[in-house]
A and B are shown apart, each in its own frame.
Chain A
Amino acid sequence: MKVRSQISMVFHLDKCIGCHTCSVACKNLWTDRKGAEYMWWNNVETKPGTGYPFRWEDQNDYNGGWIKKGSRIELKGSSKLQAFKNIFHNPNLPVMDDYYEPWTYKYEDLINSPEQDTQPTARPVSLVTGEYIDIKGGPNWDDDLSGSEEFAKNDPNFDKMSAEEKDGLFNLQRMVMMYLPRICNHCLNPSCLASCPSGAIYKRGEDGIVLINQDACRGWRMCVSACPYKKTFYNWETGKSEKCILCFPRLEVGEVPACMHSCVGRIRYLGVLLYDQDQIENVAHMEEGQLIDGQVNAILNPFDPEVIKAAKESGLADSMIEAAQKSPVYKWVKEWKVALPLHAEYRTLPMLFYVPPLLPIMGNISENGYDNSNHTYFTSIEKSRLPIQYLASLFSCGDEGKVRDVLKKLMAVRIFRREESVGDQSKPWVQKALSEVGLDEKTANAIFKLTSMCTFEERFVIPASHREMAIEMTKMVLEAKGETGFGTSNKPERI
């Protein structure tokens, strides 16, 4: 057993209100520069919807991620040798129009306008060419557009549904939507990294953050097409690819990543997971139905004395093990098993997990109007407005049972808390609901607390990064004095 640590995340989708504060925080901090205007390392999508870039989940088109051929997995987009051919022209690369052309407005026209009969206008201009443009789309163009012909109906997760099922879904009475905030998953088996011909991308050993070395990137653009989540971006100005860095400069000094810190709905949780490095290859090769279980099994129990011993032998700091024990992510993913990875079938082993939303599936329009009563425990899940199949396509490789189990747990907690705080359910009835999903009162209360009453410190448990130790361990401290903290850096200029 070789223990490694990963800073991992959980997004609780029931709490997401789709306000895009996370996206704006990230944009202001990292991508508000030339060449990066179109990049949204963090974005929020309305589901059902096509997302950003357009239909990114359609891997028959973009060819991202891994695919299992026989007993081996390989990159879906290209083999290593094909990559050399594709360097001249990468057939799987999304172009700017698949995202959107960034723009601003000619605000000075409002101020400099001569006196005239009509109001002056600020026309949109492209941030690429500087010319007037007709805006055709943006990163959240389909915001709140549930049921739209162009966006919701083209959601790749509906591709397997029949036309009738699909049409039924878009009846006004059944229309439903949810939000899906996305950042880089900092995968255990990242396909962007595997596809980089220059070897510029790497995973950090201490915290698992996947980064692109800007000095080593040569702009071959294979990572952009190989990432199935389309979370690596090509900077058209510098000729280098960029991606979410999980705010590592903030994490290293104990600060929470900007998107998570600013989250209004407090949907985001961040903490350390310990996992068994030796199992990664094995899990990535599993059958589709076993991928999620395999990944969760590879996550180790940080309270197990044997794991602690192995972790210390693998060189993990005590503070890291301690952080893993306090990790909220561990609770959601492994202890309670209510958080699932997004599109595990891409086989990258994503380390961002989602608690699927209960709200859009509850409540039906019946004759008496809006009905969200729960006369039997889980009828609203069985008769849900949003087909479980849809959520399963997102979060469990199409396995409806898995999503249903999670939703039932969340529902049981809700019934339990209703009885606790309002008292209009009967005790034995509530007990039966809990036992049916395998929860006890203590756990149900813990889930409730971490869902809705959690403090900042409970949501975010950041391990000390011990950068100072990096020097102390390899050099005499006095020798290193005056060496660190200063250096040269180049401006990111083209030739």
Chain B
Amino acid sequence: MSDQLLFSVFPYVAVIMAVVVTLVRYRFQKFKFSSLSSQFLEGKSLFWGSVPWHIGIIIVLAGHFVAFLLPEQILAFNSVPARLVLLEVTGLAMALLALVGLALLIFRRLNNKRIQAVTTTSDYVVLLVLLVQVISGIMIAVGHRWGSNWYASSMVPYLRSLFLLKPNLGFVVSMPWTVKIHILNAFVFIMLIPFTRFVHFLVVPFQYVNRPWQIVRWNWDPSRSRKS
């Protein structure tokens, strides 16, 4: 019963909350959408934390996403042992990179007085959720080989069933506790997006690539004047 609640009800609660609150906030509280960067207060140790963290976690997340979209191809790719090891080692290395970055960021936030001045409860929650996610991920990668294989064959069907609104727990129930934590914490993370600085990755400025250098706006645009 609790498995049902945690793995087939909670994910929907989390996602619906994330979507609804994000839309409401984007419409009415746009001011809150910021990276809340603290580089201005402390720049040097941020580099060693932020850059490894972001590079590591973006690549790891991309891996999860690709396997979710193309599980058969991943399994086929992994059928050659050398490729499997390459994929696993890359994933683990990136996760460790992210962990090192995250650890430095946590250390920086706890020990720098200026950063402390802008730290709120939400920042601690953010760091805790991320730390749990990365550590449980690394434990899984090390303890339950080979993750890229069984993720594609056992977990992707579960995630897809959620996506298709026909939740089918399948193998989830019999998974080790580290995996369960990893899944649950992922949905906690999704739920927290609109309430925390996580919103910053919803507004990654891809439009910058194509936009003209200069922007001019008019209070009063003669070309749009009414005809009557």
Is B50 touching A88 in the complex (CB atoms < 8 A)? yes
How far, in angstroms, from A240 to B195 measured CA to CA in the complex? 18
Binding-face segment, A197-205, A301-309, A399-407, A413-421 = A197-205
Please give, as numbers and ranges, the residues of chain A lying within 8 Å of B215 by CB-CB distance: 193, 199, 201-203
- With known contacts A93-B43, A129-B116, A238-B34, A198–B228 Cβ distance under 8 A: no
**Of B40, B46, B222, the contact of A234 (CB 8 Å cutoff):** B40
How far, in angstroms, from A84 to B205 measured CA to CA in the complex? 8
How far, in angstroms, from A129 to B31 measured CA to CA in the complex? 24
Please give, as numbers and ranges, the residues of chain A lying within 8 Å of B42 by CB-CB distance: 95
Is B41 touching A220 in the complex (CB atoms < 8 A)? no
Is B222 touching A240 in the complex (CB atoms < 8 A)? no
Interface residues of B in 62-87 (CB under 8 A from A): none
How far does the Cβ of B140 sit from chain A's closest Cβ, in whole Å?
A: 26
Binding-face segment, B6-14, B117-125, B129-137, B147-155 = B117-125
Interface residues of B in 23-59 (CB under 8 A from A): 28-43, 46-47, 50-51, 54-55
- How many residues belonging to A are interface residues under a CB distance threshold of 8 Å? 61
Is B197 touching A495 in the complex (CB atoms < 8 A)? yes
- How many residues belonging to B are interface residues under a CB distance threshold of 8 Å? 55
How far does the Cβ of B145 sit from chain A's closest Cβ, in whole Å?
A: 31
Please give, as numbers and ranges, the residues of chain A lying within 8 Å of B219 by CB-CB distance: 204-206, 465, 467, 470
How far does the Cβ of B189 sit from chain A's closest Cβ, in whole Å?
A: 15
Please give, as numbers and ranges, the residues of chain B lying within 8 Å of A221 by CB-CB distance: 37, 39-40
Interface centre among B35, B37, B54 (most CB of A within 10 A): B37
- With known contacts A95-B41, A234-B40, A89–B47 Cβ distance under 8 A: yes
Question: B2 near A: Cβ within 8 Å?
Answer: no
Please give, as numbers and ranges, the residues of chain B lying within 8 Å of A88 by CB-CB distance: 50-51, 54-55
Is A129 touching B28 in the complex (CB atoms < 8 A)? no
Is A236 touching B220 in the complex (CB atoms < 8 A)? no
- With known contacts A95-B41, A95-B43, A130-B117, A194–B220 Cβ distance under 8 A: no
A187 and chain B: residue at smallest CB distance: B214
Is B34 touching A219 in the complex (CB atoms < 8 A)? yes
Is A203 touching B32 in the complex (CB atoms < 8 A)? no
How far, in angstroms, from A332 to B94 measured CA to CA in the complex? 60
Question: B168 near A: Cβ within 8 Å?
Answer: no
**Of B35, B46, B220, the contact of A469 (CB 8 Å cutoff):** B220
Binding-face segment, A54-62, A353-361, A471-479 = A471-479
Question: B225 near A: Cβ within 8 Å?
Answer: yes
Interface centre among B35, B50, B116, B213 (most CB of A within 10 A): B213
Is B228 touching A128 in the complex (CB atoms < 8 A)? no
How far does the Cβ of B57 sit from chain A's closest Cβ, in whole Å?
A: 11
Is B224 touching A495 in the complex (CB atoms < 8 A)? no
Question: A490 near B: Cβ within 8 Å?
Answer: yes
B199 and chain A: residue at smallest CB distance: A495
Question: A166 near B: Cβ within 8 Å?
Answer: no
Question: B226 near A: Cβ within 8 Å?
Answer: yes
How far, in angstroms, from A284 to B102 measured CA to CA in the complex? 43
A277 and chain B: residue at smallest CB distance: B216
**Of B28, B205, B208, the contact of A490 (CB 8 Å cutoff):** B28
How far does the Cβ of B36 sit from chain A's closest Cβ, in whole Å?
A: 4
How far, in angstroms, from A95 to B216 measured CA to CA in the complex? 30
Please give, as numbers and ranges, the residues of chain B lying within 8 Å of A198 by CB-CB distance: 203, 205, 208
**Of B208, B214, B224, the contact of A203 (CB 8 Å cutoff):** B214
Please give, as numbers and ranges, the residues of chain A lying within 8 Å of B218 by CB-CB distance: 204-206
**Of B34, B37, B113, B217, the contact of A131 (CB 8 Å cutoff):** B113
**Of A202, A215, A476, the contact of B228 (CB 8 Å cutoff):** A476
Question: A96 near B: Cβ within 8 Å?
Answer: yes
Is B220 touching A206 in the complex (CB atoms < 8 A)? yes
Please give, as numbers and ranges, the residues of chain A lying within 8 Å of B216 by CB-CB distance: 202-205
Question: A466 near B: Cβ within 8 Å?
Answer: yes
Is B114 touching A194 in the complex (CB atoms < 8 A)? no
Please give, as numbers and ranges, the residues of chain A lying within 8 Å of B32 by CB-CB distance: 490, 493-495
Please give, as numbers and ranges, the residues of chain B lying within 8 Å of A224 by CB-CB distance: 40
Please give, as numbers and ranges, the residues of chain A lying within 8 Å of B199 by CB-CB distance: 495
0 or 1 for each of A80-124: is its CB under 8 Å from B? (1 = yes): 110110011111010110000000000000000000000000000
**Of B39, B200, B211, B224, the contact of A95 (CB 8 Å cutoff):** B39
Is B35 touching A128 in the complex (CB atoms < 8 A)? no
Question: A315 near B: Cβ within 8 Å?
Answer: yes
Please give, as numbers and ranges, the residues of chain A lying within 8 Å of B197 by CB-CB distance: 495
How far does the Cβ of B81 sit from chain A's closest Cβ, in whole Å?
A: 35
Q: Which residues of B contact A (CB under 8 A)?
A: 28-43, 46-47, 50-51, 54-55, 113-114, 116-118, 120, 122, 195-197, 199-200, 203, 205, 207-209, 211, 213-226, 228
Query: What are 22 sample pairs from A and B whose C-beta atoms fall under 8 A apart?
Result: A84-B208, A93-B39, A95-B41, A96-B41, A96-B114, A128-B114, A196-B208, A198-B203, A202-B217, A203-B217, A205-B218, A205-B219, A220-B35, A220-B205, A237-B118, A238-B31, A240-B34, A474-B225, A476-B226, A490-B28, A494-B36, A495-B32
